Amino acid sequence: MKDALVRQFSEAFGRPPQFIARAPGRIEFIGNHTDYNGGTVLGAAIDRGVSVALALRDDGVRRFGSDQRSQVVTLPADSLEKQQGPGSWVNYPLGVLAALPEFSLRAPAGFDYFATSDLPTGAGLSSSAAIELASGLVFLAATQQEPSRETLVKIGRHAENHFVGVPCGILDQGVSGFGQQDALVFIDCRGPRFDTVPLPSGAHFWIFNTHTKHALIDGLYAARHRECMEAASKLGVKLLADLTPAQLEARLSELPEVVGKRARHIVEEIARVDASVVALRQGDLAGVGQLLTASHRSSQHLFENSTPELDFLVDTLTATPHVFGARLTGGGFGGAVMALTDEHFGSAQAEQVVAAYTKKYGTAPEVLHTRTGPGATLLS
């Protein structure tokens, strides 16, 4: 991967890069919509991601290239104007450049920049966080600065929130930044506080991406956020994470039915995250799988951010041998399902799931088999 990036950089700019970094994509393992409610979440950095190469220039010009785009975007170093159209992907590294001074860090002036990715597009694996963190590493290396890993993660989130304009939580950047091979990343979103939890040997992840999205997805996200905040306000707490399942159960009658369902999902999901950590430390993958499937059923019936396509995949997967459990991964309202399997679940079983889905819906989901990988790393 590194050799290919060096070759592509040299072909684009006529010289080799000075700095190379790589950051992984991520899977939301469990903790659906818990982040903005002050809860906990588990994520997995995967063995696919985004690589970035950079070489400094002294003429006040910044050139951005990518293996996903044929055109190089050329900008003056004194401009941080948000890009539109085919060049809009440059807003991710531009957002990082804009964020650096907010953390009392310097941005490099002129440079040549090239990004490559082996993440499938539209699979909900957070390529945006990966490019932000890989960009941050090469920019900081070029200016000989070494902030903490937590600061790097916060820079990436700041770029996405304030420049790109996506109000994401800390999950994506946190997992991409703190990922480790054979481990999951645990985040207490209120801190934020980051930790890792060993993943028992023999665990595999399979992603089944439906490429479906609800037409009203932005409004649905906003509605869920609003309903959660309404529940917290009516119950007199700052965030739903302040409640235990027993405390919520005792006061559910104070909430409108729909708002109560949303609150139950969040409070019980936080409890499932904590139970998953215990089960993982005990090496109980079967127990973890039951929690994953319970998470999906809660999304399906209480938070109502699933779809018939996602439900069908979960139903089919959980009835398939060697699958511990399955759930939607990411925000929901379409997208992908993650299955946790043992090493005996292979391409033959995956194809059976694909065939059943294709028979019902007329299109085949994209399948990705992946395992955990290291977090954002400066390679040279």
- Taken as a whole, the chain contains a residue count of 380
Predicted confidence at residue 60, as pLDDT, reads 93
- End-to-end CA gap in the chain: 13
In Å, how far are 46, 115, 153, 173, 183 from 131, measured between CA atoms? 14, 8, 12, 10, 21
Catalytic site positions:
172
Mark the ranges of the chain whose per-residue pLDDT is less than 50: none
Which tens digit of pLDDT belongs to each residue from 237-267? 999 999 999 999 999 999 999 999 999 999 9
Q: Which residue do the tokens 């000075």 mark?
A: 18
Residue pair 184/199 in contact by the 8 Å Cβ criterion: yes
State how far Cα 252 lies from the chain centre: 32
pTM over 0.85: yes
Query: How far apart, in whole angstroms, are the C-alpha atoms of residue 45 and residue 173?
Result: 10
Q: How far apart are CA 124 and CA 44, in angstroms?
A: 13
pLDDT at 122: 62
**Per-domain boundaries in the chain:** 2-198+374-378, 204-370
What tokens appear for 198 in the block?
Answer: 């060993």
What distances in angstroms separate CA 291 from CA 31, 163, 273, 274, one per listed residue?
Answer: 11, 36, 8, 10
The topology under which CATH files domain 2-198+374-378 is Ribosomal Protein S5; domain 2 (3.30.230)
Share of the chain above pLDDT 70, in %: 98
What's residue 61's pLDDT? 97
Instruction: Return d(Cα 327, Cα 210) in angstroms, integer.
Output: 13
- Dihedral of CA atoms 268, 273, 277, 280 in degrees, nearest 10, equals 100
- Cβ proximity of 90 and 83 under 8 Å: yes
pLDDT for residue 41: 96
- Angle at Cα 232 formed by Cα 230 and Cα 233, nearest 5°? 65
Residues 184 and 186: their CA atoms lie apart, in Å, by 6
Measured CA to CA, the distance from residue 203 to residue 70 in angstroms comes to 38
pLDDT in tens, 189-204: 988 899 999 999 889 9
Query: Right CATH number for 204-370 from 3.30.70.890, 3.30.420.40, 3.30.420.10, 3.40.190.10?
Result: 3.30.70.890
Q: How far apart are CA 307 and CA 330, in angstroms?
A: 13
